[in-house]
Chain A
Amino acid sequence: GAVVSQHPSWVICKSGTSVKIECRSLDFQATTMFWYRQFPKQSLMLMATSNEGSKATYEQGVEKDKFLINHASLTLSTLTVTSAHPEDSSFYICSARGTGADYSNQPQHFGDGTRLSIL
């Protein structure tokens, strides 16, 4: 159980295009979803936290107009990288946490990540 599906797994596109990444919880309802960025051989950098039906909370230094996050349902969150440039190339990972009274002590369930390469 607790599967998170992230698509696409790999994207290569030209500079200036927008890219949408989907994150779905397949067998549970995710009240909260997290979006991370990971550089080679480095830790996870939390970009934003989204709660279903409300606006995402962005971490300091993350441009909300650049990285659009939508969490319209309890099973789907999307990250759109708008007008992507080579410096946006990275590995993006989503994770989700379920609902319920004890959600706070539950682990996060991660997608397999999206490798974004901007030419």
Chain B
Amino acid sequence: AQSVAQPEDQVNVAEGNPLTVKCTYSVSGNPYLFWYVQYPNRGLQFLLKYITGDNLVKGSYGFEAEFNKSQTSFHLKKPSALVSDSALYFCAVRAASGGSYIPTFGRGTSLIVHP
């Protein structure tokens, strides 16, 4: 079975500082990994994905994530946080082949950026 862990319910960071939102996963074989963001009373918006290739993936709004196969991690990062980045962030995984085609989502991490 595939699973995703987002170990932090909440991450607090000051505006202008770098931010990291952690995600680790478990899946059979190679993973497809995704990050989404959710603003209050809205659906999820796609930020970035890792399918294959370069371990550092760049996405929307200046976010990036690094795939680390040995640590089975896919942490979301941004060099300089904005107050407007405050939202709920979800990591998702599914197996590249075999297994369920339905992505599994983490429980979400609330990012709060303080002015």
Contact = CB atoms under 8 A, between A and B. Distances in A.
B1 interface: no
Contact of B45 (A41, A46, A110): A110
Interface string A33-44: 010000001111
B102 A105 contact: no
Interface in B68-115: 90, 94, 96, 101-103, 105-108, 110
A107 interface: yes
A115 B43 CA distance: 11
Contacts of A111: 43
A84 B78 CA distance: 42
A22 B43 CA distance: 14
B67 interface: no
A107 B46 contact: yes
B63 to A, nearest CB: 14
Given A105-B32, A105-B49, A43 B105 contact: yes
Interface string A81-104: 000000000010101000000001
Contacts of A112: 41-43
B43 A43 contact: no
A6 interface: yes
Nearest to B97: A104
Interface residues of A, number: 22
Contacts, number: 52
A110 B107 contact: no
Interface string B26-64: 000000101010000111111001010000000000000
A113 B90 contact: no
A49 interface: yes
A109 interface: yes
Contacts of A46: 102, 105
Interface of B: 32, 34, 36, 41-46, 49, 51, 90, 94, 96, 101-103, 105-108, 110
13 contacts: A41-B110, A43-B107, A43-B108, A44-B105, A91-B41, A95-B44, A104-B32, A105-B96, A107-B36, A108-B103, A110-B36, A110-B43, A113-B43
8 nearest A-B pairs in the assembled complex, by CB-CB distance? A110-B43, A43-B107, A107-B46, A110-B44, A112-B43, A105-B51, A43-B108, A111-B43
